[in-house]
Amino acid sequence: MNIQEVSLARLTVDPEIEAHYSSRWDEAARLSSTVKGRFEQTRLYDFLGQWLPPAPGCVADIGGGPGVHAGWLSEQGYDVTLLDPVQRHVDQADAAGISAQLGDARRLPWANESFDAVLMAGPLYHLPEACDRRLALREALRVLRPGGVLAAVAINRAANLIGSALANTLMARQGIVRDIVDTGHSAHNERMAHCYYHRESELRSELANAGLRPVNVFGLTGPGGWLTVMIDAHFKSQPYSGRLADHDPLDTALECSRLADRMPELVAASSLFLAVGQKC
């Protein structure tokens, strides 16, 4: 079998991902009720506002979860179609009035050149095998019109190392962190379903090899994102009031990361990457 045949032979939802998002993790609540979630949304929407073709247009939100990003895109005037492998997410998106369907990023149900833009905010880290990521990117480009834009989120391979150091949990989690740093895989990470963690150069190569030109990689969360992680940890047992000192820390985090956007060398300080490319 070739790579595509092997992948198509096992196009089933990873039970670990299904369990993670169906019973252990509420993605909609994370994005709306945590400082980190609200920060990620603001940063993502800043970048999408810069790089997506102007509305109106058709956008595929692949791996779109409960539809938080799709809802924002719809408000901007886009015609959005969401696809996700988790039934709970599809139901939540449907309830929010978003056109959503159950499916797999590696075998999209849409015709060639159906969309002006594609957002992939989950598939590249929830597909741990390189052959599956290649297939998902190939499918995304198939449904993207010439000149269309693809935006994909990936997790920085150094994210767990930095986060564990800041939380002073590195020694307790040393085995997990070492595995991620050495291999990019998190098979034994108790906090998330099995994920893949990218190096910046690797992410850039994956999109370029799929046929996107040019490929830009940004620090989606940037250095300011670590402040939001610490704020959420501090307020884990009590509501976040929005103020700790003279300024709202969310504003501080956003300003920090926006300033860091001027320094490409700080991309590696971000827990999440955003890669943007255009179909030739």
Confidence of residue 6 (pLDDT cuts 50, 70, 90): very low
Q: Per the confidence metrics, is the pTM higher than 0.85?
A: yes
Cα(65)–Cα(28) distance, rounded to whole angstroms? 8
Q: Which residues of 51-67 are buried (b: 16+ CB within 10 A; e: fewer)?
A: bbbeeebbbbbbbbbbb
Cα(150)–Cα(200) distance, rounded to whole angstroms? 17
Residue 143 has pLDDT above 90, yes or no: yes
Confidence of residue 27 (pLDDT cuts 50, 70, 90): confident
DSSP labels, 155-214: EETTHHHHHHHHTT-TTTTHHHHHHHHHHSB-TT-TTSSS-BEE-HHHHHHHHHHHTEEE
CA distances from 113 to 117, 142, 261 (A): 10, 6, 32
Phi-psi region of 129 (alpha: psi -120 to 50; beta: other; left: phi over 0): beta
Domains of the chain, each with CATH number or no CATH: 3-157+195-279 (3.40.50.150)
Residue 190 has pLDDT above 90, yes or no: no
Helix (H) or strand (E) holding 61: strand 58-62
Contact of 150 with 213, CB cutoff 8 Å: no
Tell me the per-residue pLDDT of 218-243, one tens digit each, with 9 for 90 and over. Answer: 999 999 999 999 998 877 645 555 54
What is the pLDDT at residue 7?
43
What is the pLDDT at residue 242?
54
